[in-house]
Structure 1
Amino acid sequence: MLKKFLTPATILIILGALIGTSLVLYAWRLPPFTSSIEMTDNAYVRGYVTTLSPQVSGYVVDVPVQDYQSVEKGQLLARIDDRIYRQKLAQAEAALATQRAALDNSRQQETAAQARIASSEAAVDSVNADLEQAESQSNRQDSLIRSGVVATSAQEQAHAARDRARAAMAQAKAAVEVSRQDLQTIIVNRNSLEAAVANAQAAVELAKIDLSNTEIRAPRDGKLGEVGVRVGQYVAAGTQLMAVVPKDVWIIANFKETQLAGMTVGQPVEIRVDALDRKVLKGRVERFSPATGSEFSVIKADNASGNFVKIAQRMGVRIAVDDTTEAASLLTPGMSVTVRIDKSVGPA
């Protein structure tokens, strides 16, 4: 009876079912195929790719670099025609000189006003002496009139001289006050002149910045991507000219959330690089993403629609490349890699 059921076809079906079940259990890491090793091929090399753009507009007059060339920090990459910006700087410097001259003139006016105040105060002293003399003379004439020694005409002349001296004193004091007000006006206007000088200085600095921005230089050491700018091309602020790629690289591996349990910062990582004939490099877990990739997408998933299907999300894991071999130096942003992490091994 048993032989009747164990036909070759039946045996093949049973073997196929066992193999299929085993493959499913292995794929989902279910017993008896559970493992502490997690791997993913959803991983790529990342780096600081800096796209360079001008901050000023104009015609490009020089591009001394080529595609994929190694450059050093501060190296000239492109130059924009700077004639207009040099003239703007000269114009700003001339305006600054004019404002400084006006400020110097204000200081000179202050000195002159202080001299006028001193002169007016001296005039007050002189008129005060004349007033004291006129009042003394008037008092003497009044005494002589009471004694009947002199005529009334002399008394009238003395009174008139006294009144003129008093008027001169009032005029002299008014002149002192006018001089002081002139000085105050000069001091008040000084603030606006100093502000004008500061504004002109800022304009000069802005003109210098614009002039320096006509030269596009490498922000750091690295290699260039494709140089998209050409001599004679008109570029505006924000036009993409080229990109600089520094040597610093790292790995971003996107693990499923079901793989993360037991992963910790510092655990060693094996990195296999497709472009380097699957050569194995060494690395370590550096940090974990604060959210899954779906949370950073532009269009968020609406899980409240009633037809929800649970899907394992992926979490980005940043991996530092610790390998110092020549192969590691060949890593460039965008390369595909496969990473393996043994969760049973503690941080290095």
Structure 2
Amino acid sequence: MSAPTSVASATAAPSAPAASPSTRTSRRRSLLIGGGAVALAVALAFGVRWWVHGRFIESTDDAYIQADSVTVAPKVSGYVAEVYVRDNQQVKAGQELVRLDNRQYQAAYDESAANVASRQADVARADADLQQQKARIAQAAAEVDGARANARYAASQVERYAPLVRTGAETEERTAELRNAQTRAGTTLAANEAALRVEQSQTVTLQTRLQQARAQLEVAEASARKAKLDLEDTVVRATQAGRVADKGVRVGQFAQPGTRLLTVVPVQDLYLTANFKETQVGRMRPGQSVTLHVDALSGEALHGVVDSLSPGTGSQFALLPAQNATGNFTKIVQRVPVRIHVDVPNEARPVLVPGLSVVVDVDTRDLHPASARVPGAAPAAANGAAHG
């Protein structure tokens, strides 16, 4: 009889009170109101940020790091004798990169130098002949002066003895001798004057010969300079500092003028070209600040400024530009290349190379940035080069 009594007492124990439906509804409403308030605050914050800042930011991922690379090629032909650089090596401006076999160019230069020496001897000989001719002219002029003096003396003797002959103080034979001497003196004077004219006429010939020798010397010197240039051009040097890339030159290879040997990439002078849609460039001006996100730097932000905008869209400079004046027309949003000067920190320089993809954000709030260049002034950084 005791077991039924315990069961009845357990059945009669009161249970915990359950939450009422009105309490659950109130709690749900509070959560919804709180969540809505948070969402509204976040939306308001984003809206204010967009209104103040975001609506002026123009972004594109159609942007790539670039550099004005230089293709290295020889100016003369020849077999490659030595290659002084390796792949990806850093080089300085003027550093020797490749040397061609220069034996034939050395021989040509030696021949030209010998020809110059020969022409210099011709000039010296012609000048000496001209100086000698001037001495001959002076000698002939002196002989003319002497003959003229003799002629005057002979004439004076004839005049002095003529009255004596008429008075009988002198003989006719004496007069004849004096007249004969006068005639010989006149003949000698005429001969000397003719010889002087001959010597003087030779001066023009010798001066012409000297001018010809000097002209031939100039031709020889020009040929020697060309031969020297060819000899110097057998050593191919870097025209700018950078890193060696795309090296295809090998020892023993025959290189023609203009043959690509390697490329020098000026990684220290990087810039950025971003292709913005035409709907994005309305407020874009040189000098506006730019934020860059390079994929290779894992999201690390770089900074720069707008350097310049292209004078035409990319399609205008394509190899086959669009002909929109014919056939059916479909409007396509064009893109305008924008060149951006990049401030590269030293720790990022080894990583940044031409061709890397970049996400660009241009702040267009300031339509007249203080860093904008004055029209007609020289660029602040040559070719948009990057400076750390």
- Scaled by the length of structure 1, what TM-score is found? 0.84
Q: What is the CA-CA distance between 1:329 and the residue it aligns to?
A: 4.3
Of the structure 1 ranges 56-65 and 293-302, higher mean CA displacement relative to structure 2 is found in 293-302
C-alpha distance after superposition, 1:295-345 (max 9, x if no partner) = 212333323225333322211100111141522542111222221113225
* Cα RMSD, aligned residues only: 2.2
C-alpha distance after superposition, 1:157-213 (max 9, x if no partner) = 433322221121111112222222222322233222222222222222222111111
Of the structure 1 ranges 312-321 and 290-299, higher mean CA displacement relative to structure 2 is found in 290-299
Indicate the residue corresponding to 1:12 in structure 2: none
C-alpha distance after superposition, 1:245-297 (max 9, x if no partner) = 11210000111111101111121112122233343221211111112212212
Which residues of 2 match residues 199-218 of structure 1 at below 5 A? 199-218=219-238
SS at match of 1:73: coil
C-alpha distance after superposition, 1:50-93 (max 9, x if no partner) = 10000111111111221111222222211101111111111111
SS at match of 1:258: coil
Indicate the residue corresponding to 1:132 in structure 2: 152
Q: How many residues align?
A: 316
Of the structure 1 ranges 233-242 and 147-156, higher mean CA displacement relative to structure 2 is found in 147-156
Between Structure 1 and Structure 2, whose CA radius of gyration is higher? 2
Q: Distance in 1 between matches of 2:234 and 2:286?
A: 45
Indicate the residue corresponding to 2:96 in structure 1: 76
Contact 2:154 2:182 in 1 (8 A): yes
Indicate the residue corresponding to 1:18 in structure 2: none
Q: Distance in 2 between matches of 1:178 and 1:308?
A: 91
Matching of residue 232 in structure 1 with residue 265 in structure 2: no
Q: State the structure with bigger RCO (CA 8 A, min sep 6), 1 or 2.
A: 1
SS at match of 1:290: coil
Indicate the residue corresponding to 1:89 in structure 2: 109
Matching of residue 188 in structure 1 with residue 202 in structure 2: no
Matching of residue 167 in structure 1 with residue 167 in structure 2: no
Contact 1:281 1:328 in 2 (8 A): no
SS at match of 1:135: helix
SS at match of 1:309: coil
Q: Distance in 2 between matches of 1:132 and 1:325?
A: 100
Q: Distance in 2 between matches of 1:322 and 1:140?
A: 110
Contact 1:57 1:237 in 2 (8 A): yes
C-alpha distance after superposition, 1:111-151 (max 9, x if no partner) = 21121111111111221222122212333454344335555
Indicate the residue corresponding to 1:273 in structure 2: 294
Distance 1:225 1:89, change over 3 A: same
SS at match of 1:79: strand
SS at match of 2:310: strand
> Which of 77, 81, 85 in structure 2 is aligned with 1:57?
77
Q: Which consecutive residues of structure 1, in runs of 5 or more, have no partner in the other structure? A: 1-33
Q: Which consecutive residues of structure 2, in runs of 5 or more, have no partner in the other structure? A: 1-53, 372-388
Q: Distance in 2 between matches of 1:220 and 1:300?
A: 34
